[in-house]
Amino acid sequence: MTVTDTLDLNHIRLTDRPLIVCDIDEVVLEFLTPFSNFLRACGRDLLPRSFRLHGNIVELDSGLPVEDAKTSELLETFFRLQDQWQTPADRVVDTLAGLSAEADIIFLTAMPPRHSGTRRSLLDRHGLHYPLLASEEPKGPIIKRLHDARDVPLVFIDDILRNLQSVQTHAPDCLLINLMANDQFRAMAPDPGDGIAKAESWTDAAAIIRTHLLR
């Protein structure tokens, strides 16, 4: 049985308002900039050579790439210490506060669930008290379960194309928004293609969402 099958949604209480589901890393919280700072503190660096982490982390002293297994280990350590490094993306706190007057908001993070307690505390510290779900399973089936057959607008915001495509498959009426905080890596991201809106900032994303809600 998969995490998607067993993910506990019982604590999620939705109203009859529209639903906005937000990814966390690079959407609600800065990720690539603080992760780069963390790596430099560990004697390594993240080079913006392509839209991926594995293969782009190098040793500062030699310039040699870090092995994939070590990259995974560094990510695990970063998530364990995330509350010491990560901060909210620009304008996200005020923007979500405004949108919360019009819609329900839920955070859906692909971070390993074992770190969700630390993430919950970090979000709360910055006034981002919206419900949090953590799962490494595809996001489309999770959002389909969340939204079910509710006849209200649905919005999903993420920086990673495969997550947006997963939701596109399982919730085809959902408004999909591609948003990424880091300018360097956003410039290298694959084009999301038809059916997915691109937002340059949270101000841009809010305008797209409000246009959708007024239809």
Do 38 and 113 have their domain in common? no
Examine the domain organization and report whether 156 and 101 are in the same domain.
Answer: yes
| Pair (124, 147) in one structural domain | yes
Residue 160 pLDDT: 96
Q: Look at residue 148 in the predicted model and tell me its pLDDT.
A: 87
Q: Are residues 95 and 142 in the same domain?
A: yes
**Mean pLDDT, the chain, whole residue set:** 94
On whether both 129 and 109 belong to a single domain, the answer is yes
Say if residues 128 and 88 touch (Cβ distance below 8 Å): yes
Of the three residues 15, 49, 84, the one that is the final residue of a domain is: 84
Low pLDDT (below 70) residues in the chain: 1-6, 215
Q: Measured in whole angstroms, how far is the alpha carbon of residue 27 from the centre of its chain?
A: 5
pLDDT at position 6: 59
Please check whether residues 140 and 79 belong to one and the same domain: no
Whole-number Å distance between alpha carbons of 46 and 117:
27
Q: How many domains would you assign to the chain?
A: 2
Say whether both 49 and 65 belong to one domain: yes
Q: Same structural domain for residues 175 and 77?
A: no
* The pLDDT value given to residue 149: 81
Query: Residue 71: what pLDDT?
Result: 95
Output the pLDDT for position 5: 44
Read off the pLDDT of residues 200-213 as tens digits, 9 standing for 90 and up: 999 999 999 999 88
We report the CATH number of the domain holding residue 183 as 3.40.50.1000
Its domain, for residue 134, covers 3-30+87-213
Q: For the whole model, what pTM was predicted? A: 0.94
Picking from 41, 69, 84, the residue at the C-terminal end of a domain is 84
Helix (H) or strand (E) holding 164: helix 161-170
